Amino acid sequence: DAGVTQSPTHLIKTRGQHVTLRCSPISGHKSVSWYQQVLGQGPQFIFQYYEKEERGRGNFPDRFSARQFPNYSSELNVNALLLGDSALYLCASSKGNTGELFFGEGSRLTVL
């Protein structure tokens, strides 16, 4: 069975641009969460979606947005990129509303 897949794996953007990151959860998982991991730190919670509804949002500015589609895949959008947005963006899926998360390999974003 396929695990959580994320795309793209690596990308480079310049300040002010926007980015869209994509995630496909494990088949049967209805919840998708997004985390930002800055080098040397633990993942920081950005969003959780369950059954296409936003269930939680972390302490991130409105430049960050996300959505979940009917097939439970998800997109994370970041507008007006800043240098500090450079990080590994991790998507995780779970069967329900629990912390038993299954992570993808991440999308590494570099903002120049």
Partner 1 sequence: GEDVEQSLFLSVREGDSSVINCTYTDSSSTYLYWYKQEPGAGLQLLTYIFSNMDMKQDQRLTVLLNKKDKHLSLRIADTQTGDSAIYFCAEIYTGGFKTIFGAGTRLFVKA
Question: For binding to partner 1 (CB under 8 A), which residues are involved?
Answer: 4, 33, 35, 40-45, 48, 50, 55-56, 58, 90, 92, 97-106
Nearer to partner 1, 15 or 54 (CB): 54
| Residue closest to 20 by CA, chosen among 60, 62, 67 | 67
Nearer to partner 1, 15 or 43 (CB): 43
How far apart are CB 26 and partner 1 at their closest, in Å?
12
Nearer to partner 1, 56 or 61 (CB): 56
29 touches 102 (CB < 8 A)? yes
How far apart are CB 32 and partner 1 at their closest, in Å?
12
How far apart are CB 16 and partner 1 at their closest, in Å?
28
Q: Is 77 helix (H, G, I), strand (E, B) or coil?
A: strand
Please report, for residues 54, 56, 57, 97, the alpha-carbon distance to residue 9 in angstroms, rounded to integers and kept in the order given: 24, 25, 24, 26
